[in-house]
Amino acid sequence: MAMQRVLARLSPLMVLANREYMPTFEATLACAPDTETSWRDLLRKHNLSKFDARELQDKRVVLFGEQHHQSQVLKAQMTILSSLHQLAQSGHTTKKVVMVMEHFNIEQDDLLHKFGQNQISSEDLIQEYAESREGFRLVHYLPLLLLARELGIRVHGGFPPRQWASLVHKESIEALRTSKDFLVPRDFGEDRWSQVSRISREQVAYLRSMMSGQPPKLPDPKDVPTQGYLSGILPAQTLKDTFFAWSIDKHLSDSSVVVFGVCGLGHSEYNLCASSRIKQCQPQEIYTIATKDLDSAGYVSDGLLQGQFNLADLVVPYTSDQEAD
């Protein structure tokens, strides 16, 4: 019960839950003169509220879009996971929570299972993980993993191995599909491959904006490849989105399961990426959480998408760790 005792001593999670106030994807990272320049400026107009776990009632998927390696974000993740577990145990029908993480690839489930069953130590987990190419500082996420183990929550890898995305980026989707070195699961079917290559104009605009730091701009319809995006950085990103959705969907075939998905913000906000590829539940059964650095650039409207895409259901503001990358 060590990690639960730690959670009990933490200050309440403060969130922005006013959806009318949240920026939509018609907003951009480019600040105009005489407008707010950071989330801190924006939030001065609005009182934060304490997190209410009832927001998660009846949700099948909770997607937590994180900024990597941030201590305040980690505390929020632990709070949400604990709340989901309590909700799952308190209903008329007991539900089961599983956690799917970007930080592990789909071939590392055995490693995660051994850790969850106390068959290997934290040190063994970190050492074996370091031999992979996933690249996260696993010691940062250890409290979340220990909490999951303490609560009896199974953890699963959610992303393809980095080498798979790299092959799509450098060569093509077809190179991955026909590779003798990388064995993609057979049940990752044609509909999933279509999700990798058929990228909406809105997601193209979002991804290009995220990578360039420039305001999002919808591509001209005539510039969209008729066969879809078959190689390069865009399908390399949507390969990750699609595998994450596929990994989540595998658990949703059991109606008693609630999935807590932890991934980078670029895979979850505005419901353009991974969440739009989840097929085993309705959109209203998916709850999205975004984390925003208080000193990160503010949002101003440019009317791009007529405000049709909301940032998230809930925003967790945080102050960045100085040493984090």
Instruction: Note whether residue 200 is domain-resident.
Output: yes
Go through 148-183 and write b for each residue having 16 or more CB atoms within 10 A of its CB, e for each that does not: bbebebbbbbbbbbeebbebbbeebbeebeeeeeee
**Per-residue pLDDT for 5 more than 90?**
no
State how many domains the chain has: 1
> For the residues 267-295, what does the mean pLDDT come to?
93
Q: Which of 5, 16, 49, 79 is nearest to 314 (CA)?
A: 16
> For the residues 202-206, what does the mean pLDDT come to?
90
Instruction: Note whether residue 70 is domain-resident.
Output: yes
Reported as a single tens digit per residue, the pLDDT across 169-201 is: 999 999 999 999 999 999 999 999 999 999 999
Instruction: Note whether residue 276 is domain-resident.
Output: yes
Cross-strand bridge partners of residue 299:
none
Instruction: Note whether residue 142 is domain-resident.
Output: yes
Instruction: Note whether residue 241 is domain-resident.
Output: yes
Higher pLDDT, residue 285 or 46: 285
- What range does the domain containing 70 cover? 20-45+59-318
Reported as a single tens digit per residue, the pLDDT across 310-324 is: 889 999 999 998 655
Cross-strand bridge partners of residue 159:
105
What is the pLDDT at residue 29?
Answer: 43
CA-to-CA distance for 7 and 56, rounded, in angstroms? 19
Instruction: Note whether residue 93 is domain-resident.
Output: yes
Per-residue pLDDT band for 59 (boundaries 50, 70, 90) equals: very high
Share of the chain above pLDDT 90, in %: 70
**Per-residue pLDDT for 20 more than 90?**
no
**Per-residue pLDDT for 294 more than 90?**
no
Per-residue pLDDT band for 138 (boundaries 50, 70, 90) equals: very high
Which DSSP string do the residues of 175-227 spell out, in sequence order? HHHT-SSS---TTS-HHHHHHHH---HHHHHHHHHHHH-SPP-PPPGGGS-TT
CA gyration radius, the chain: 20
What is the pLDDT at residue 308?
Answer: 63
What is the pLDDT at residue 65?
Answer: 97
> For the residues 205-211, what does the mean pLDDT come to?
87
Instruction: Note whether residue 4 is domain-resident.
Output: no
Cα torsion 45, 216, 162, 245: sign: positive
What is the pLDDT at residue 314?
Answer: 93
Half-sphere exposure of 266 (CA within 13 A, CB side): 14
Instruction: Note whether residue 2 is domain-resident.
Output: no
**Per-residue pLDDT for 42 more than 50?**
yes
Per-residue pLDDT band for 19 (boundaries 50, 70, 90) equals: confident
> For the residues 94-103, what does the mean pLDDT come to?
96
Q: Where are the beta strands (DSSP E) in the chain?
A: 14-15, 27-28, 49-50, 61-66, 96-105, 154-159, 257-264, 286-293, 300-301, 314-318
CATH number at residue 145: 3.40.50.11550
Q: What is the mean pLDDT of the chain?
A: 89
